Homo-oligomer: A and B are copies of this chain.
Amino acid sequence: MTQTIPVIEKILSANDKLAQENLARIDAAGVFAINIMASPGAGKTSLIEQTVRALAGKYRVGMVNGDIATSLDADRAAAAGAAAVQINTGGNCHLDAVQLRSALDQLDLENLDLLIVENIGNLICPAEFRLGTHKNVIVASIPEGDDKPHKYPSMYRGADVLVLNKIDLLPYVPFRMDFFSQGVAALNPGLTQFNLSCTTGEGLDAWLGWLEGRVRK
């Protein structure tokens, strides 16, 4: 029986193994954790701000923010009511499971209900590194253009939830919803999708409802 252990260790990368350990730790604390990924400027931080603001009275929310430089985003999440930990990667293009483990060490996990990880703004590299969260959430946005699922397939393929943000800008930019949806469906059929605007608040309720359905009562 012990022979199976080295085989498993060979199959799992070092990062994936650590990601499993992170998830076990998060599960043991009864926390629901999401990893939010997007290109720069799609609205990850705005979505987190709105989410924390809406849920902070009901749930204890922790937030891990990955950034190349500055703590601008973590500051915004903290101002909205989250226990925030900042990871500055100093140029690294993605978060990995080692970095999440360090962040978990700094959080009082037992006293959280929801953990939101904000990944580095990048539509490519973060898709390859599991962190140990329950769900991967990708944030797309209307002004980015309708061709993004076609051009960045890995990110869309690995997502559990898609948030399409900035729908208030639909009247001002060319965006073919059909072409966008075709790209998504080809990569990830049946992907749960929420269309919303963090600026106007339209559509936020459905996203918050999905999240609340997964956080322990």
Contact = CB atoms under 8 A, between A and B. Distances in A.
Interface of A: 39-41, 67-70, 72-73, 91, 93, 120-125, 141, 143-145, 147-148, 150-154, 166, 168-169, 172-174, 199
A145 B121 CA distance: 12
B122 A93 contact: yes
Nearest to A91: B154
A70 B151 contact: yes
A144 B41 contact: yes
A39 B44 CA distance: 14
A150 B72 contact: yes
Q: How many copies of this chain does the complex contain?
A: 2
Contacts of A73: 151
A109 B65 CA distance: 46
A124 B91 contact: yes
Contacts of A67: 151
Contacts of A173: 169, 199
Which of A73, A144, A150 gathers most chain B CB within 10 Å? A144
A121 B69 contact: no
A68 B169 contact: no
A148 B41 contact: yes
Nearest to A67: B151
Contacts of A40: 39, 123, 144-145, 148, 151-152
A93 B121 CA distance: 13
A151 B39 contact: no
B124 A123 contact: no
Q: What are the 6 closest A-B residue pairs judged by CB atoms, nearest first?
A: A41-B144, A143-B143, A39-B40, A93-B124, A41-B145, A40-B123
A145 B145 CA distance: 16
A81 to B, nearest CB: 21
Contacts of A123: 39-40, 121-122
Nearest to A174: B199
Contacts of A172: 168-169, 172
A143 B166 contact: yes
